[in-house]
Structure 1
Amino acid sequence: MKNKTIKIGLSLLAVSIVFYSCKTTKEATVKKEETPIGINTSFMDKSVKPSDDFFRYVNGSWMDNTEIPADRTRWGSFDELRKNTDKDVMAILKEAINDKSIDANSDQAKAINLYKSVLDTVTRDKQGIEPLKPYLAKIDAVKNSTEVVNLIAELDDEINLGFFGVYVGTDAKNSKRNVVYVGTGSLGLPDRDYYVSDAPDNVEKRQKYQEHTARMLQFLGQSESSAKSDAAKILALETKMSTATLDRVERRDRRKTYNPMTVAELQKMVPSVNWDNYLQTIGIGKLDSIVVSQPKYLETLETIFKENQLADWKAYMKWTLLRGSAGSLSSEIDNANWEFYGKTLTGAVKQRPADERALATVNGRLGEALGKLYVAKKFPPEAKAKAEAMIKNVFLAFENRIDNLPWMTKATKENAKLKLRKSTVKIGYPDKWKDYSKLEVVSPENGGTYFENSRLYAKWSHQRNIEKLNKPVDKTEWGMSPQTVNAYFNPSNNEIVFPAAILQPPFYDYRADEAVNYGGIGAVIGHEISHGFDDSGSRYDSDGNLVNWWSDEDLNQFTGLGTALAEQYSNLQPLPGIFVDGKFTLGENIGDLGGVNAAFDGLQIYLKENGNPGLIDGFTPEQRFFISWSTIWRSKMRDEAIKNQVKTDPHSPGMYRAYVPLQNVDAFYEAFDIKEGDGMYIAPENRVKIW
């Protein structure tokens, strides 16, 4: 739970721009040599009418001829873009490795040292579980719940032992200041449903999880029978912990996870923890108040501590330690852990190459160190300038749409427009780069190991988080590195953020046709804007505070429209018996619908100001817009990945994002002459119109 920032990200499943040709209409077609960059007609299925199956029409040939790589659980044009970006960053990193002039204390040198230590499997294999032994000995030595809590506090800045966690973050009701939050414990399965639901897939995964836990515990020297016994205890304890947590829909309601109380009140709720001592030990010191994310969980934790099942606690802490460290230990342990989390849970056939995994670690921990180099080589100023112009039009379109909402009263419209106008937009890269000067990363040549560098990173990250407490919120910080192919909305900052890597071909090209760009990055811009007005983001005001700015009447109208959209998605069945959770995915679905509408209107503003280029490859700008949207969401997923996604990911599967929002947009029907009886048709009275 530490360093937890609330962001609503795009979490793209597939991002690319691909086009196709069809019959020429009456308007003049642009000459072939004038065709903008990015057009590709080879991925469509011309045997299908767009009015019957738009996703198949746009992406059918690609679907038929594309295989998911063995080391991936899904594949799409976004994944291709991510892989290509990683190649660019890898080349930059390797160039830096070969640059003998790099300062040994520079951020880039630290990135190099971390990368090398991840790849140093010789040392990792030689060490085995040696790095864990001091921690295992400390766990074995505890005698009661007081000593358990003391150990959690002692190791808080370097190792996670579960049960609960404390972190510093933005006050949801006062976005200018930081406060202390206490959150839930660490669990080995990714969602509550895996523990509490008796659906066949959950029952199967629980059994395999228990088997996996028993297998892993034997690496610690336990006998097979002892490991199996402990695995059963761990599953039982984690199930009790998970049962007390909010479900995935409830967790999206920030009002339910914002529960401020005095430390004295918290002490009364969980007397087994001496909170003053705990907070002092981890470096926070004396506090008057704290925000509890899930009170019911902490009440259950008190019950667990009162039961005094010391052996169960020790087994759980050892497992949490091992699970969290597995990737930095020997190849055998790392591979065994992947067998469950990569293969069993999400369906991958083999692990990704070691250098790709090492790069992912560097990007995750020292992303801005490489980001400086990436931006200098890969992000032209023209891309940012054109994106800014597009953003301006999409914002204007969104404001026009607010003005024209038939269901919203004037006073609430003014509040909505105020929030829109006060939004912050970040493009490309930070104005102020992250300071890694206090982070120590030791090279393998100097005795550094992946495990030790992970420990040093944890200590640095912990201290950096704690230091925020007595400072105002730094709203210049970025939650993603420039080389991240994604985007996000941060409700506390009322900001939308677009890293440089998403502003590149084929997803976005500043030289390409504007209809293409508006259907791609333009709709993503609209998507992130819409997050400020989805069922979750709309609870924050223009200053990023969790304050209601709605009239009761308007809120009831908005909630009803959201319910209708949720019902649309809850009827989608990506696998037999596996349904999309419309309530869980509602925020992202509102984002997609609002994004398409705002970007489409933004395109009309652009065309009015700059002229209509007419047909390109036989398509009008409006058709090219919708084609672009559908292609960016093309994707194929393994069955296990789909099962996992619908339980853990608030985004709908990509193939639905490609066309379901469009079914609610009248202009889509006009662009492709969709009529009653066609597969894509939804009756006008059943089309959901929110923003």
Structure 2
Amino acid sequence: MRNSILSLLVIGVLSACTAPGEDAKEKEMPPGLDMTMMGEDVDPKEDFYRFANGNWLDKTEIPADEGRWGGFPELREKNDKIMLDIMDRSAQNPDFGDGTDERKAIDFFAVGMDSTLAERVGTKPLSKWMDQINALSSKEDLQNLLAEMHRTGYGPFHGVASFANLMDSEINSLYVVAGGLGLPNRDYYTKEDAKSKEIREKYVAHVGRMMSLAGVEGDAYAMANDVMEIENRLALASLTPIEARNIPALYNPMPVDGLQELSPTIQWKSYLEGVGVDLGKVDTLIVTQPKFMKEVTATFNEVDMEKIKNYLAWNVVNQAANFLNNEMVQANFDFYGKTIRGTEQMRPRSERVLSTTNGVIGEAIGKVYVAETFPPEAKASAEEMVGNLMKAFDKRIRNLEWMSEETKEQALKKLNNLTVKIGYPDKWRDYSTLEVKKSGESYSYYENMENAWRWQFEENIKEIGEPVDKQRWGMNPQTVNAYFNPLNNEIVFPAAILQPPFYNYTADAAVNYGGMGAVIGHEISHGFDDQGSRFDFQGNMVNWWTEDDKKRFEERSEKLVAQYDAYKALDSVYVQGKLTLGENIGDLGGLNAAYDGLQIHLAENGNPGLIDGFTPEQRLFISWATIWRTKYRDETLRTQVLTDPHSPGMFRAIGPLTNMETFYQAFDVKEGDELWRPEEERVIIW
């Protein structure tokens, strides 16, 4: 699940038989495990992942337009079909007239779907930026253009944004953040293995191809090398993905004059006014990567202006490409889709435009989605499950042997002040000031997208110095995901994830607790992982640990790092235990809490006993393994290991189990079995 600390900065088993004397008709059971997807004749003690998913793994093929396939993309595809139907019917709804937020979403989608319009417009909208870039003649001109680009949503060199202050989560502060890289992260520029070198070579060729297709004047290959030169400088000055997880290191408050001293080439007061910042509200701003900002100054001083122009032009082309004509979209996919993710073909235009519409104006159509797909019974059932998970986590904290009573008191205070949001927001977002064009001389998918970028930036930047709106959601109701926000001390579960395979309010409780229950527990656990544990019950980055307890927590975390470091994803590609630590703590704590939550449910509602030949505890663990079943293309798997704080699905499925005595008891796992982990190597944190 998403961990949004900084949004800038997610068999051969017999079924249960009817008893003698019962009617021969099959006894009606609540929805549960899909037995046909399990592995035939696979011993759960030896290979639990195949035991739970063997037939699915053998029969499933990754769609040509996907880099991986499993529970999340399956549900996303199902959800996309629902949303496309909603968009189609909403377009005919007279209640959604001009000016309504729903109509804006409908119009945005319709313009995006007009491929004929996209071909007619081509790359002509980029000319306004190319003219300004070509006209640059001084550092003052560069500063002014950077302000305009950033205000319009482009991100060369660095960026600015507003969100809650890490030390005072009630107030929004101004952050200056690193940016401007075309490859996924720093590691892609610095690793010296053959695959990384190959990707860099292909990236330079891609930049040249795109600049040529966009009609940028000059030697495309030479321009591409200029881009790589500048991006290399920025990458070397950036934090590694693992370093960026050290949240306190990102908190570097200083006055504007302090930033002026740190990065003197830019006249920061003028720049900030240029992007729309009210300097009267900025006593202090926060620089997330001071070393990076020093490099920005060095680049401005040491790199020829013509090279900087080429870098700026690339930034525009790269960000705009997916909203232009098919030639640009296809060329962009050839690198980022095929080379980086290994995907064979693009997703249908309707799904791509829908995804963009959701990102721009998602809550407008999310209101319709919720009304049609999320019954009150589903929310009530989910709330009951959350209650049991909270009770389970409370009990687990109280029973921790390694934590002092002093720290337990603070942990419980944080838990008891956790806000839970389920389904959809109580207050919907207002899109009245967003302009969406659907006719006229100059309208296009790209122009609407650029309007949206500018609108999003302006809406964000005007919040500097204002109270944090804690009613706002960071995801739309139709998003298949969930998240923990440490600055609000909240867990959030959009309506879309409260569906099979994660959740079915009419299903067997054990299957639900192994799916959605563990997801809920995972998000609760994020409040106590290596990052979330730095924040107190109010969402402030305040230490609430004793020194000895923090040391014991870190020792246990290091054991989990070592466990995941040993998981081999591909030849010479291993999971990064430090990068994935927060999510792995979330999985371990979440599944433990889900197990205990199920016991609370069974005590209150009765134990149904065997279903499909499995106990409730066995069904819970099988359900957990099924939600993480995933097939990957090699390129996608490699990219995930290098960039994603989530471990690949096959390791999420089995990693927590090998640390849990309850799993060993459920499947009678003993020393000598493949999944046995010696007791001294097992990790118990929460």
TM-score bin (small chain): over 0.9
C-alpha separation in 1, matches of 2:303 and 2:661: 62
For the Cα contact (< 8 Å) 1:68–1:75, is it kept in 2?
Answer: yes
Matches of residues 292-441 of structure 1 in structure 2 within 5 Å? 292-441=287-436
Matches of residues 475-624 of structure 1 in structure 2 within 5 Å? 475-624=470-619
TM-superposed CA distance for 1:446, in Å, is: 7.7
Matching of residue 235 in structure 1 with residue 228 in structure 2: yes
SS in 2 for 1:324: helix
For the Cα contact (< 8 Å) 1:230–1:315, is it kept in 2?
Answer: yes
Residue equivalent to 1:14: none
C-alpha separation in 2, matches of 1:655 and 1:414: 36
C-alpha separation in 2, matches of 1:150 and 1:8: 26
Q: TM-score, normalised by structure 2?
A: 0.96
SS in 1 for 2:36: coil
C-alpha separation in 2, matches of 1:219 and 1:159: 22
Matches of residues 89-100 of structure 1 in structure 2 within 5 Å? 89-100=83-94
TM-superposed CA distance for 1:185, in Å, is: 2.4
Residue equivalent to 1:260: 253
Matching of residue 6 in structure 1 with residue 5 in structure 2: yes
Which residue identity does 2:78 align to in structure 1? N
C-alpha separation in 2, matches of 1:626 and 1:483: 27
For the Cα contact (< 8 Å) 1:37–1:512, is it kept in 2?
Answer: yes
Which one of 151, 158, 163 corresponds to residue 157 of structure 2? 163
Residue equivalent to 1:16: none
For the Cα contact (< 8 Å) 2:5–2:532, is it kept in 1?
Answer: no
Which residue identity does 1:226 align to in structure 2? D
Residue equivalent to 1:124: 118
For the Cα contact (< 8 Å) 1:20–1:41, is it kept in 2?
Answer: no
Matching of residue 628 in structure 1 with residue 627 in structure 2: no
C-alpha separation in 1, matches of 2:622 and 2:561: 24
C-alpha separation in 2, matches of 1:247 and 1:649: 12
For the Cα contact (< 8 Å) 2:12–2:39, is it kept in 1?
Answer: no
Residue equivalent to 2:107: 113
TM-superposed CA distance for 1:272, in Å, is: 0.5
Matching of residue 58 in structure 1 with residue 52 in structure 2: yes
Which one of 257, 269, 283 corresponds to residue 276 of structure 1? 269
Residue equivalent to 1:44: 38
Provide Cα deviations, 1:645-668, integer angstroms capped at 9, x if missing partner. Answer: 001100000011111111101000
For the Cα contact (< 8 Å) 1:534–1:590, is it kept in 2?
Answer: yes
Which residue identity does 2:104 align to in structure 1? K
Provide Cα deviations, 1:238-262, integer angstroms capped at 9, x if missing partner. Answer: 0110110111111111101110011
C-alpha separation in 2, matches of 1:43 and 1:155: 50
Residue equivalent to 2:444: 449
For structure 1, which runs of at least 5 residues remain unmatched after alignment? Answer: 12-18
C-alpha separation in 2, matches of 1:106 and 1:243: 47
Which residue identity does 1:229 align to in structure 2? A
For the Cα contact (< 8 Å) 2:12–2:40, is it kept in 1?
Answer: no
For structure 2, which runs of at least 5 residues remain unmatched after alignment? Answer: none
TM-superposed CA distance for 1:39, in Å, is: 3.2
Matching of residue 189 in structure 1 with residue 183 in structure 2: yes
Matching of residue 465 in structure 1 with residue 477 in structure 2: no
Report the count of equivalent residues.
679
C-alpha separation in 2, matches of 1:123 and 1:614: 61
Matching of residue 198 in structure 1 with residue 198 in structure 2: no
What's the Cα RMSD here?
A: 2.0
SS in 1 for 2:271: helix
Provide Cα deviations, 1:363-409, integer angstroms capped at 9, x if missing partner. Answer: 11111111100000000100110111110111111111111111111
Q: TM-score, normalised by structure 1?
A: 0.96
Structure-2 change in CA distance of 1:22 and 1:558 (3 Å): farther
Which residue identity does 1:70 align to in structure 2? A
SS in 2 for 1:61: helix
The 10-residue stretch of structure 1 (386-395 or 501-510) with the greater mean CA deviation from structure 2: 501-510
SS in 1 for 2:152: coil
For the Cα contact (< 8 Å) 1:117–1:444, is it kept in 2?
Answer: no
Matching of residue 137 in structure 1 with residue 131 in structure 2: yes
Q: Percent identity?
A: 48
Which residue identity does 1:37 align to in structure 2? P
TM-superposed CA distance for 1:582, in Å, is: 0.4
TM-superposed CA distance for 1:149, in Å, is: 1.2
Which residue identity does 2:423 align to in structure 1? G
C-alpha separation in 2, matches of 1:142 and 1:383: 57
For the Cα contact (< 8 Å) 2:4–2:483, is it kept in 1?
Answer: no
C-alpha separation in 2, matches of 1:145 and 1:650: 38
For the Cα contact (< 8 Å) 2:482–2:497, is it kept in 1?
Answer: yes
For the Cα contact (< 8 Å) 1:20–1:43, is it kept in 2?
Answer: no
